[in-house]
Amino acid sequence: MLKFPPFKTIATMISSPYSSFLLPRKSSFPPMPSLAAASVFLHPLSSAAMGDSSMDAVQRRLMFDDECILVDENDKVVGHDTKYNCHLMEKIEKGNMLHRAFSVFLFNSKYELLLQQRSATKVTFPLVWTNTCCSHPLYRESELIDENALGVRNAAQRKLLDELGIPGADVPVDEFTPLGRILYKAASDGKWGEHELDYLLFMVRDVGLDPNPDEVKDVKYVNREELKELVRKADAGEEGVKLSPWFKLIVDNFLFQWWDRLHKGTLTEAIDMKTIHKLT
């Protein structure tokens, strides 16, 4: 297993499994001088959320409070924007908005892969099956650390707690193995989509699970043959099975070769953090 130098984790910073929406950002707007002038100083949530009244309240809060890290195609940080703006296909297409992301592949001691089915209330790709945890490092100090992908690994530990209730002690940050990066774009529907530079992280740990229903509908461990059958059903459109586009790209291009190396104890030989694979 790849080892990284000692570091401080974010575990002590989290006071709740759902801290990302319990810690609102301070408004940058000036005080409203009068009710008549109030419309000039609307918070972004006020106007945009009115057009998304059907959006689940928890997901809406996350969409506006979480700030994703904007990068160029060489993974250099160029700014930040709300999760809402980063996932609007109109802005993705017109502004080529690309944000940093991660995909965790968590295996148990039998080398079975933990999958999750995204909740029905997710704004993008609801109810699809995907890898263990897929999310974004946020524009905050602890998740902007580029050295050894520490910021991304900190974010992965945070989201494994948020989504699956996995304690930080069960997924030590220095036991994530960053294997590579992919760049892809995918539409969820006519309005939403993804344009991500995605870090792929492996870990082998037996963990406790307490899935958050706001994020996750179902979970299951699969072996190689069971995953192949799930992929077959998704490709054939059977039983309503759908896979997330990033997961399918990773399955088609890397996963089974890396799974073989995991069994053989040669996973570190597959590490390539210099190449950014542009996949379609």
Known catalytic residues are 134, 196
Neighbouring C-alpha atoms within 13 Å toward the C-beta of 16: 7
Region of residue 10 (phi > 0: left; psi between -120 and 50: alpha; otherwise: beta): alpha
Buried residues in 268-279 as b, exposed as e (16+ CB within 10 A): eebeeeeebbeb
Amino acid at 78: V
Amino acid at 210: D
Sign (positive or negative) of CA dihedral 127, 62, 187, 68? negative
Buried residues in 30-56 as b, exposed as e (16+ CB within 10 A): eeeeeeeeeeeeeeebeebbeebeebb
Which residues are CB-neighbours of 74 under 8 A, at least 6 positions away?
A: 276
Q: Tell me the C-alpha to C-alpha distance, in Å, between residue 122 and each of 61, 190, 273.
A: 12, 15, 30
Token pair in block for residue 98: 């690309």
Closest CA to 133 of 120, 110, 152, 109: 152
Please check whether residue 52 is in contact with residue 127, taking contact to mean a CB–CB distance below 8 angstroms. Answer: no
Burial of 261 (0-12, 13-18, 19+ CB in 10 A): middle
